[in-house]
A and B are shown apart, each in its own frame.
Chain A
Amino acid sequence: MAELGCLDVGVGGPGTFHLKQDGNNYSLPGPCTGTLQTVSDSGTGIHTASLYQNVNIFLNSDPTGFPAGTTFTYMAPYTTSECNHPAPASNGRVYSPSGPLNGTICIIASVPSNAVPGTMTTHFTFCGTSTGANCTTFDWVIEVVAPPNVTYAPPTSFTSPPGLAYWEGVMTARPCPGSLCGNGSAPASSISGPANYCDPLTGPSPVNSLGAATSATVSFYGWNLLFDNMAIYTGNPVYRSGCFQVGMGHSGTTDLQSVRSYVINNGGNMIGYAHFTESLFRACQVFNDPSYCAAGLLMQNNYMIAYGPKLAHTYLRENAYGLDDAVALRKYGNLTMPHWTDVRDGLYGMVLRATESDASGVRYNQQQFQMGLAAHALIADWQLSSDPRAPYAIKRALDRVWADYDSTNHVWMNIEGPDASPWCSSSFLWFVSDPIGNCGQRPLAWQSLQMMVVHAFWWYYAYTGDTQYRDKGDDLFAHAFDQGGLTGKQASEIYYDSFNAVGWRTGTLKVNQWYGDGLTSFAGGGQSSASCDLNADGHVNVIDVQLATNQALAISACGNGDLNGDGSCTVVDVMRVVSASLGATCNTGP
């Protein structure tokens, strides 16, 4: 049998074909390249082939089995997002057109608020043609729950968590500049922390020492912002001028921390863990430099918030950052992103899915630190939206984290296990046994990472007054330093969210307050994130009045309805929203 170009020439017939493959590199072979697949035997059983591209699959009808009154919308993918724009239809059947995510379709179910809770089996029927032929139905069991209504009952008094002084000491210690040093039983002053990688007195010299917490060209988490938070916390402005400013604004060619340049050079569309919106707007404010605001606004092009949610479970972190971007753009940039609510609702689903098994016993495993990142975003979003799902979903995430926590050795399980269990997957694969074999392990080296969820425990405590969550967070917090010195990355992990965490734990921040907002004045100019647009939809109207009223009546927790910042929601705040809804300027001052 000979080959001629793309076509084989030889004996064949209807329904016959050869296969080609580009070696074993798992890349898609081209039709005119690759090697002929030969087989040594026929195999056993039934062999099935599935086609990846150029075949449209049609949803035969609205899914069935959902509560009465459920409505559906359908979206099609674009670039990284599965839910970007309305899906096309043919013969009344929606489908996903060809493209990078060919065949993927996004189905959005809006369940009425009065739906009766219970277990239901839903049915999704897809067909190979637009006329309803070659169809298969996929069943998905759902648990319908009533709209959450977690009672807002904040503590009436607060204490300090064990280990707070140690956390403060490590923050500013500089025992071995630029290097990892110290052990867990040593004084905090001998443990390398964030300041160890940035000299607050003489400036970061060399500048590259700021690159201690990077992957490729991007810094992790809040690496730069944490220095500004340190300046606020300690009252020492050199952390701002000597570390934060250099990290954000340096333009040297070898410095990996040139955040402003990096964002501008990439038009704001960067890799998934680029996470700079809040820090850019902070820099804009504290340095009174609009170029940072311009860069911050460019973050609207960051792919998750620009294109909409990506629901594959491996993108929890990216969706969380997308929601963070949306919140920061709204809060600091007065920009409402079109996909904001899509990313929010998608993220809620991902967090819930990570805490529950499906009907076949499979749970979407998530690395627990990413659950902390998701909680970070949901809390930030709640502060603008008052979404009642936030405390409910965060509690579920926290309970999942705690279920695997070793409270004897004080170390968490970042990746659920055991190996080969339905909950163990690699960071890329769904319910396939992790080839690395680290599922279900609790390496002590991961203790620093567990700090990334402490803020959520303490926010939930500050919301509900439930001391169980205070005490669980205390345990995680107090042992995050057990292994001693921190690399730059570990320092970034620990101090990314712990300023918020400590604030909520000690009562210096209310649940509707974010560290840094309104606290930046020592370097010039205060800031308030308060707005009369309580649901952050870009309009101040009767909906916002209702939200403010609910908060004043304690029907919902007092959050962003506290416009005058006096710590309570009253008729004074409601009247300000009423006035703004009638066209007056929103009064957010005391």
Chain B
Amino acid sequence: MKRFLQFICLASCLSAAPFPHVRFWDFAGPRTVIAGSRSFFATTPLFAFNFTVDPATSIFTVTGGTYTPVNGAILTAESSGTLPGGMYTYVDGFWPNWDVSMLA
């Protein structure tokens, strides 16, 4: 399970793409490509969306896109600034993640 959590985001994944979009976590493969041979690449593109949160209710809201939260979906969070107080990102070698718990 820990392995599953150990995806590290490429620097380029924080580019200013419209949301929701696809972002890339880990990209394995060589820079050197030998003619006449096969080169193997692997990547894990993930669906991403922006969000805000109301500290009074701790209700999160999808912004900038049309993603509809699905109960039980697993996500991790990052911020171009500072994550909301109480949330954290990379800690001690691991990315924390959360379950979406939908509001009725």
Q: Does A83 contact B (CB under 8 A)?
A: yes
Chain B residues whose CB sits within 8 angstroms of the CB of A360 once the complex forms? 11-12
Chain A residues whose CB sits within 8 angstroms of the CB of B2 once the complex forms? 26
CB-based contact A312/B4 at 8 Å: no
Proximity bits, B41-67, A CB within 8 Å = 1, else 0: 111111111111111011111110101
From the candidates A10, A107, A135, name the one contacting B21 in the complex (CB within 8 A).
A135
Q: Does A216 contact B (CB under 8 A)?
A: no
CB-based contact B62/A15 at 8 Å: yes
Q: A18-B58, A117-B35 are in contact. Are A11 and B81 (CB under 8 A)?
A: no
* Identity of the chain B residue whose Cβ is nearest the Cβ of A120 in the assembled complex: B33
CB-based contact B102/A345 at 8 Å: no
Q: Which B72-98 residues have C-beta < 8 A from chain A? A: 72-87, 90-98
Instruction: Report B9 CB to chain A, min CB distance, Å.
Output: 8
Chain B residues whose CB sits within 8 angstroms of the CB of A38 once the complex forms? 58, 86
Q: Does A48 contact B (CB under 8 A)?
A: yes
Chain A residues whose CB sits within 8 angstroms of the CB of B75 once the complex forms? 19, 49-52
Instruction: Report B45 CB to chain A, min CB distance, Å.
Output: 4
* Identity of the chain A residue whose Cβ is nearest the Cβ of B88 in the assembled complex: A24
CB-based contact A15/B85 at 8 Å: no
Instruction: Report A67 CB to chain B, min CB distance, Å.
Output: 7
Instruction: Report A62 CB to chain B, min CB distance, Å.
Output: 12
CB-based contact B100/A142 at 8 Å: no
CB-based contact B46/A51 at 8 Å: yes
Q: Does A290 contact B (CB under 8 A)?
A: no
Chain A residues whose CB sits within 8 angstroms of the CB of B52 once the complex forms? 42, 47
Chain A residues whose CB sits within 8 angstroms of the CB of B43 once the complex forms? 104-105, 107, 124, 138
Q: How many A-B residue pairs have CB under 8 A?
A: 370
From the candidates A41, A47, A432, name the one contacting B85 in the complex (CB within 8 A).
A41
Chain B residues whose CB sits within 8 angstroms of the CB of A357 once the complex forms? 31
From the candidates A37, A117, A349, name the one contacting B30 in the complex (CB within 8 A).
A349
For the complex, give the distance between the alpha carbons of A342 and B38 in Å: 9
Q: Does A444 contact B (CB under 8 A)?
A: no
Chain B residues whose CB sits within 8 angstroms of the CB of A50 once the complex forms? 23, 25, 46-48, 75-78
Chain B residues whose CB sits within 8 angstroms of the CB of A147 once the complex forms? 34-37
CB-based contact A43/B53 at 8 Å: yes
Instruction: Report A35 CB to chain B, min CB distance, Å.
Output: 10
For the complex, give the distance between the alpha carbons of A124 and B12 in Å: 13
CB-based contact A103/B46 at 8 Å: yes
Q: Does A446 contact B (CB under 8 A)?
A: no
> Which listed segment binds B: A108-116, A164-172, A325-333, A372-380?
A108-116
From the candidates B26, B69, B71, B98, name the one contacting A29 in the complex (CB within 8 A).
B98
From the candidates B12, B46, B83, name the one contacting A47 in the complex (CB within 8 A).
B83
From the candidates A48, A101, A432, name the one contacting B93 in the complex (CB within 8 A).
A432
CB-based contact A6/B8 at 8 Å: no
Instruction: Report B83 CB to chain A, min CB distance, Å.
Output: 5
Q: Does A160 contact B (CB under 8 A)?
A: no
CB-based contact B82/A148 at 8 Å: no
Instruction: Report B43 CB to chain A, min CB distance, Å.
Output: 7
From the candidates A41, A66, A352, A426, name the one contacting B31 in the complex (CB within 8 A).
A352
CB-based contact A49/B77 at 8 Å: yes
Task: State the 5 A-B residue pairs at the shortest beta-carbon distance, nearest first.
Answer: A45-B81, A12-B103, A113-B36, A31-B72, A40-B85
Q: List 22 A-B contacts (CB under 8 A).
A: A7-B103, A15-B61, A15-B67, A16-B59, A29-B74, A42-B55, A47-B79, A49-B51, A107-B41, A109-B41, A111-B39, A113-B35, A128-B22, A134-B47, A135-B21, A136-B24, A141-B31, A313-B28, A345-B38, A349-B28, A350-B28, A430-B26
Binding site for B on A (CB under 8 A): 1, 3, 6-21, 24, 26-31, 34, 36-55, 57, 66-67, 82-83, 100-101, 103-115, 117, 124, 126-128, 134-136, 138-148, 309, 311-313, 341-342, 345-346, 348-350, 352-353, 356-360, 362, 389, 392, 426, 428-432, 435
